[in-house]
Amino acid sequence: MHALEYREPKDRLAVALDFPSAEAALALVDRLEGRCRWFKVGMELYYAACNSLIETLRTRGYDVFLDLKLHDIPNTVAGAVRSVTNAGAGLLTIHAGGGSAMLAAAAQAADVPGAPRLLAVTVLTSMDAAELAGVGIKVTPAQQVLQLAKLAQNAGIHGMVCSAEEVNLLRTELGPEISAGPMLVVPGIRPAGSAHGDQKRVATAAEAIARGASMLVVGRPIRQAADPASAARAILAEIQSADYG
C-alpha cells in the first residue's frame, strides 16, 4: 500500500481533472506548471482515457487519485482493486455503503506491494439531510458518516472521504492520523464567497485543514479559474497558513 507523506502543502492537495478527454485534462496539468503533486481522475475522465492517462501522469512525475467509488459485490470490487494496482494509482475510492464484506474484500485485495491506499466514501458532499431522507436514511449526515467510517475502519480500511463538517467528529472518534487514525480526504472545498454549485456541505481550504483534514480535493475553483496556477497557489497558501500559521 502506498505510504503518503505530507512534507509540503502540495502533498495535501488533489486537483480534480473533471474533463471528458485526456487532452483537456493534460492541458490543465500543463497550465498548473508543476505546482500540484496529486491529480484526481474521476469516472468521466477514466472511462474516456482509461489506464493510459494514469501512465502518462505517472511518467510526468505526478501521483494519481483514482476516484471510481467502487460499489458492487465483494468479488467484483476485489478484482477491480487488483486491476487498479496494476495501473499504478496511489489512491482509490470505494463506497462504504457497499457493506462490511465488500470493504473487507477490497482491503484484502489492497494488501499487496504497490496497491493503492483505499478511501471509503461516506456521504457525498452533494447530499444533505433531506437528500439522505429521500433514500431512506433518517439520521443526520454526520451520524451516517460516522457509522460508515467505523464500518470501513473495522473492515481494515484506514482512509475515508467526508465533508469538512464531519472532520472534527471523525478525528474525535477515530483518532489523529499521526496516531494511527484515518486519512481524511475532503472534497467540497470552495474559496470564501464563491459559488457552491451542486455541493451542499462545503468549507474553505483553511477551515478543512484546521479541522484535521489530511488532503483536500479541489476541482471547479481551479479548473474554471482564468488563471488556474494562481488559483492553485492561493489554495496552497491557505493550506500552508492552516498548517503552520
Between the alpha carbon of residue 243 and those of residues 9, 47, 114, 228, 236, the distances in Å are 8, 36, 29, 22, 10
Per-residue pLDDT reduced to its tens digit, 147-161 = 999 999 999 999 999
Per-residue pLDDT reduced to its tens digit, 67-99 = 999 999 999 999 999 999 989 999 999 999 999
Average pLDDT of every residue of the chain: 91
Query: Do 119 and 185 contact (CB within 8 A), yes or no?
Result: yes
- The pLDDT of residue 201 is 59
The band of 122, judged by pLDDT with boundaries at 50, 70 and 90, is very high
- Please give the Cα distance from 194 to 181 (Å, whole number): 32
Which domains are seen in the chain, by residue range? 9-240 (3.20.20.70)
Q: In the structure grid, which three cell numbers stand for residue 110, read together?
A: 489492497
- The pLDDT of residue 194 is 53
According to DSSP H, which parts of the chain are helical? 22-31, 43-59, 74-87, 100-109, 129-134, 141-154, 167-174, 205-211, 220-223, 228-244
Q: What is the pTM of this model?
A: 0.91
Per-residue pLDDT reduced to its tens digit, 187-231 = 989 775 455 454 555 688 999 999 999 999 999 999 999 999 999
> To 5 degrees, how large is the angle CA 155–CA 158–CA 162?
105
11 exposure class (CB count in 10 Å sphere: 0-12, 13-18, 19+)? middle
Active-site residue among 10, 40, 69, 200? 69
- Please give the Cα distance from 37 to 128 (Å, whole number): 31
Query: Do 183 and 214 contact (CB within 8 A), yes or no?
Result: yes
Between the alpha carbon of residue 240 and those of residues 13, 66, 183, 227, 245, the distances in Å are 11, 25, 18, 20, 7
40 belongs to the catalytic site: no
Range in 30-44, 48-62, 183-197, 230-244 the model is least confident about: 183-197
- Please give the Cα distance from 173 to 188 (Å, whole number): 22
- The pLDDT of residue 124 is 87
